[in-house]
Structure 1
Amino acid sequence: MRVLLSTYGSRGDIEPMVGLAVQLRALGAEVRVCAPPDEDFAQRLAGVGVPLVPVGRSARALTKAAPPASDLPSRAAELIAGQFDALISAAEGCDVLVATGMLPAAAGALSVAEKLGMRSVSVTFQQLTLPSPHHLPLAYPGRPFPPEVTDNRVLWELDAQSINALFGAALNTNRASIGLPPVDDVRDYVIGDRPWLATDPVLDPWQPTPDFDVVQTGAWIVPDHNPLPADLLAFLDAGTPPVHVGFGSMPLRASADIAQVAIDAVRAQGHRVVLARGWADLDRVDGGDDCFVIGEVNQQALFPRMAAVVHHGGAGTTTTATRAGTPQVVVPQATDQPYWARRVADLGIGAAHDGPTPTVESLSAALETALTPETGGRAEAVAGRIRTDGAEMAAKLLLDEVRRERPPMPA
């Protein structure tokens, strides 16, 4: 069995594919991953023995470029064309395609599967891209929803119109280049009739709708057995548990100010700081020995040793911190991150910061909530309810479905 995994986005889009790839290989499948050519992505995949087929340009460079809203259609055309260029050859001999990541990139990948007659599965790592009367859609930059409209069903209709306006022409131009008919509704094309939701049902409970059959597998996590660096371990062992501060793949325009704010806020609560550089290149602001700066480390090993985790609210980081049983402060920056902040607050396992730009006072207040014994107790209780077999379940389901659909071998 040969499986092609396709994604385009940040580290949060890559890491779940690593988890799925590991489980697929354990079941005997041959796996390759189409993803942006960022060096850390290639290294991550190489570490588990999975080849990377580079697609388009660096996701980190794309994220830092921050194009104006008016540039979204041309950016979409670039992403879709990149999928067509890379996947047509990468898919040769494959039995199934799993597509996720930025919507226009997923639309391009699914179009390639359609052209080649391959089975395909559309996956999302948060439910806010799936139409439902129970929640709002995410608004695209430059296309806010009318404030007077409060009916979720109407808002989802407007969402479909926005997606078609932003990405429809780019998708259909590329589809025509390989002899495919135009798509009338880009969002419905990408979602399909049976999308997969690779999130934990405790953190991200899906309420069924009659519109389509959602398969919620649990989050796709690969166990990380890498040891923490010796100097980091020495720092951890030298005092009480510190507070971790990091914003993952978020570039953060005022990163120097946020580093200063975060360190001062943590110190105000009487704790030491572990500061993760991330794509914002955060760094210490003084020579204090109560602050330790890290790059890429094993968060599964690190987070349980923290007093609290301050982060941007990416799906993967939220899940990892929740599994660790460590209280969280979520400072959401964009897209689905306010949703994960609300989920953390609703579960009582941390605090949701109001807005993307903390002050010393606002972050210190959020930390004060997260660091209470009551919050810590709830965080430990919820940790025991988080599934750890999502990637294994997804891999088995995928291979079983492909085998069932294969024509019988001739006698």
Structure 2
Amino acid sequence: MPGLSDMRVDLRAALEGADALITHPILYVAPVVAKELSLPWACGFLSPILLPSIYDLPIPPFRPEAQWVKNIRPPLSKWILGMGMRHIRPWAAPADAMRAAAGLPSAHPLFAGMHSPVLNLALFSKALALPEKDWPQNTVQTGFPFYDRLQGGETDALPEALEAFLQASSAPILFTLGSSAVMTPGRFFQLAIEATQKLGARAVLLTGKGVTPPANLPPGIIAIPYAPHSLIMPRCQAIVHQGGVGTTGQALRSGRPQLIVPFSHDQPDNGWRVVRAGAGRVVPIGRVTGLKLLTALRALPSCEADAKRLGEIVASENGVDAAFVLAAAGYGLALAFWYWLFPHPLALFLPTIALTSALAEYLFPREFRLTEKGVYASCGPFQKLFLAWEDVKRASHVPGDSPAMRWLVEVRSAGLYPLTEAGKMNWLDTPLPDDERESLLDTLADGLKKRGLAIPALFALELHRPLGNTLAHGLMGLTPLLGPVLGAARLEKAAALLADPTAVDALIERLNTEEAAP
């Protein structure tokens, strides 16, 4: 956690004039700053995996097929959760020290330490997870806070070509990979086309903006970059998606059966919760084949009744309104939001915001260059931003002094990615020797492939592709995949390695082969 001190400074600056603070649980400095500024603080949990319970263990991100963990009894579950928390506690030592210096009681900075004593918002539906006895005190479940626009000026109508396609014949199957997994689809859309043809069905493919759709689409299949889920999903017979909590919520609300192909993070857990509720099936992306996809799609009609029942439950909830009323009732109407990784839809509905999600939009740019007037960044497939130099704000760190990072010195000197006081991150002081670098890359690639984790790893690498903050944030998504391959002792070296963009490119190239294809 090399950036905590600067997070603390940035958050204090963002909260000037604010009356309260609501955060994502990954902002580990939130309880410290809230105490220092005497601000009421609440925490919002977007998916059930962020509130792990001994009564309902989450599916591990790196073992998406391990649905058997849902049958483990509470005494053993408590031991398993405790062991996992103890294993990662050393990583949180800087946060522990910061909490102690602020006079906060001892608590795991990644778990209980992020539970607010005032208000915790479970921002998901009871159709996905019911409240558990060991959730933190003062937790209120609001339902999903829906938002399905891309902030790109979309209208409230479907594209004309899609509308004409929907009206032309029977309801199609929708294939989508959300906003992140769509960056690394592998053969997903090709397999979708083949399965649709064998079923004699029609299909809509949401391939992502800036992505070239599959060539020579057969009749009855249309590919478009994006369509608002709330408009397209209810008009489809079934929905195939990656299991992100936003997509899962929209699919549940539509009342249509789902086939979930989880990549990583919370997606495996979300998927198996849908299966448990009777509304769908799961095939982990690393195990997707044409036959498995076809078999799962043929089973979906048996899920229609439960899917419709859950859709009525989700449609009756309003997560945004519920969260707003709770927050406003407790703290007045002036609320400050800070999202270190991802913007959140609640930020669009509350009346005053000290810091918007604009900062998060360029934390993970995929293309980046300096110009005389400012910084240009293409942030994933959807956002293209220009920042004038006078408007540039501090975002994160540029790690290390490896040769591959020298081009980022210009960015540091411009003030976008400030150095630590020491001039570099301690854990990246010495670049890895070439022979050790190549050996570690080979070990990573081979181990991930053998464990069926190549596709989830590609997803995590693309999502956290380094441009200055790399594994400081990226390990949150990638460590569950690297841990089983390397063991805890070598994770620090992996972090140092993957802070180098050329090393990330090399690992992606090793993984992105026929052997890694789903």
Q: TM-score, normalised by structure 1?
A: 0.68
Equivalent residue, structure 2, for 1:264? 194
Instruction: Please give the residue correspondences for 1:73-84 in structure 2 after superposition, counting only pairs within 5 Å.
Output: 76-78=1-3, 80=4, 83-84=7-8
Equivalent residue, structure 2, for 1:24? none
Are 2:396 and 1:396 equivalent residues in the alignment?
no
Q: Secondary structure at the match of 2:41?
A: strand
Seen in structure 2, the aligned counterparts of structure 1 residues 316 and 241 have a Cα distance that, compared at 3 Å, is same
Instruction: Work out whether residues 127 and 277 of structure 2, in 8 Å CA contact, stay in contact via their aligned partners in 1.
Output: no
Equivalent residue, structure 2, for 1:199? 124
The residue type equivalent to 2:11 in the other structure is L
Match of 2:17 among 90, 93, 105: 93
Q: Secondary structure at the match of 2:21?
A: strand
**Structure 1 residue 172: deviation in Å?**
5.0
Q: Structure 1: how far apart are the matches of 2:249 and 2:61? A: 25
Match of 1:125 among 24, 46, 49: 46
Instruction: Please give the residue correspondences for 1:321-360 in structure 2 after superposition, counting only pairs within 5 Å.
Output: 321-354=251-284, 356-360=286-290
Q: Structure 1: how far apart are the matches of 2:87 and 2:62? A: 10
Are 2:82 and 1:157 equivalent residues in the alignment?
yes
The residue type equivalent to 1:393 in the other structure is A
Aligned residue pairs: how many? 317
Instruction: Work out whether residues 246 and 310 of structure 1, in 8 Å CA contact, stay in contact via their aligned partners in 2.
Output: yes
Instruction: Work out whether residues 251 and 280 of structure 1, in 8 Å CA contact, stay in contact via their aligned partners in 2.
Output: no
Seen in structure 2, the aligned counterparts of structure 1 residues 175 and 283 have a Cα distance that, compared at 3 Å, is farther
Instruction: Please give the residue correspondences for 1:291-330 in structure 2 after superposition, counting only pairs within 5 Å.
Output: 291-330=221-260
Q: Structure 1: how far apart are the matches of 2:8 and 2:308? A: 45
Q: Structure 1: how far apart are the matches of 2:135 and 2:31? A: 23
Q: Structure 2: how far apart are the matches of 1:319 and 1:304? A: 13
Are 2:36 and 1:115 equivalent residues in the alignment?
yes
Q: Structure 2: how far apart are the matches of 1:93 and 1:254? A: 41
1:238-292 deviations in Å (ceiling 9; x for gaps): 2221111111133468624222112211222112221112489473243324322
Q: Structure 1: how far apart are the matches of 2:79 and 2:102? A: 30
Are 2:168 and 1:243 equivalent residues in the alignment?
no
Match of 1:180 among 96, 102, 109: 102
Q: Secondary structure at the match of 1:275?
A: strand
Instruction: Work out whether residues 259 and 285 of structure 1, in 8 Å CA contact, stay in contact via their aligned partners in 2.
Output: no
Seen in structure 2, the aligned counterparts of structure 1 residues 290 and 132 have a Cα distance that, compared at 3 Å, is same
The residue type equivalent to 1:379 in the other structure is A
Instruction: Work out whether residues 307 and 326 of structure 1, in 8 Å CA contact, stay in contact via their aligned partners in 2.
Output: yes
Seen in structure 2, the aligned counterparts of structure 1 residues 86 and 288 have a Cα distance that, compared at 3 Å, is farther
Q: Structure 1: how far apart are the matches of 2:61 and 2:306? A: 35
Seen in structure 2, the aligned counterparts of structure 1 residues 307 and 300 have a Cα distance that, compared at 3 Å, is same
Q: Secondary structure at the match of 1:195?
A: strand
**Structure 1 residue 175: deviation in Å?**
6.8
Seen in structure 2, the aligned counterparts of structure 1 residues 210 and 334 have a Cα distance that, compared at 3 Å, is closer
Instruction: Work out whether residues 330 and 353 of structure 1, in 8 Å CA contact, stay in contact via their aligned partners in 2.
Output: yes
Q: Structure 1: how far apart are the matches of 2:319 and 2:88? A: 30
CA-atom RMSD, angstroms? 3.2
Match of 2:308 among 364, 374, 380: 380
Equivalent residue, structure 2, for 1:29? none
Q: Structure 2: how far apart are the matches of 1:85 and 1:295? A: 39
Instruction: Work out whether residues 261 and 288 of structure 2, in 8 Å CA contact, stay in contact via their aligned partners in 1.
Output: yes
Q: Secondary structure at the match of 1:77?
A: coil
1:164-218 deviations in Å (ceiling 9; x for gaps): 222332x357779xx7358652121112345221111122112223863421122
The residue type equivalent to 1:123 in the other structure is G
Q: Secondary structure at the match of 1:151?
A: helix
Q: Structure 1: how far apart are the matches of 2:211 and 2:108? A: 39
**Structure 1 residue 299: deviation in Å?**
0.8
**Structure 1 residue 97: deviation in Å?**
0.8
Q: Structure 1: how far apart are the matches of 2:318 and 2:199? A: 36
Seen in structure 2, the aligned counterparts of structure 1 residues 175 and 274 have a Cα distance that, compared at 3 Å, is same
Larger Rg belongs to: 2
Instruction: Please give the residue correspondences for 1:252-291 in structure 2 after superposition, counting only pairs within 5 Å.
Output: 255-278=185-208, 281=211, 283-291=213-221
The residue type equivalent to 1:154 in the other structure is W
Instruction: Work out whether residues 329 and 366 of structure 1, in 8 Å CA contact, stay in contact via their aligned partners in 2.
Output: yes
Q: Structure 2: how far apart are the matches of 1:247 and 1:238? A: 25
**Runs of 5+ in structure 1 lacking a partner?**
1-75, 405-411
Instruction: Work out whether residues 34 and 40 of structure 2, in 8 Å CA contact, stay in contact via their aligned partners in 1.
Output: yes
Q: Secondary structure at the match of 1:121?
A: strand
The residue type equivalent to 1:375 in the other structure is C
Are 2:292 and 1:368 equivalent residues in the alignment?
no
Q: Structure 2: how far apart are the matches of 1:305 and 1:156? A: 41
Seen in structure 2, the aligned counterparts of structure 1 residues 159 and 279 have a Cα distance that, compared at 3 Å, is farther
Instruction: Work out whether residues 77 and 167 of structure 1, in 8 Å CA contact, stay in contact via their aligned partners in 2.
Output: no
Seen in structure 2, the aligned counterparts of structure 1 residues 268 and 347 have a Cα distance that, compared at 3 Å, is same
Seen in structure 2, the aligned counterparts of structure 1 residues 165 and 279 have a Cα distance that, compared at 3 Å, is farther
Seen in structure 2, the aligned counterparts of structure 1 residues 351 and 139 have a Cα distance that, compared at 3 Å, is closer
**Structure 1 residue 293: deviation in Å?**
1.9
Deviates more, 1:260-269 or 1:148-157: 148-157
**Structure 1 residue 356: deviation in Å?**
3.8
Q: Structure 2: how far apart are the matches of 1:211 and 1:162? A: 21
Q: Secondary structure at the match of 2:28?
A: helix
Q: Secondary structure at the match of 1:293?
A: strand
Seen in structure 2, the aligned counterparts of structure 1 residues 280 and 199 have a Cα distance that, compared at 3 Å, is farther
Seen in structure 2, the aligned counterparts of structure 1 residues 278 and 174 have a Cα distance that, compared at 3 Å, is farther
Instruction: Work out whether residues 246 and 275 of structure 1, in 8 Å CA contact, stay in contact via their aligned partners in 2.
Output: yes
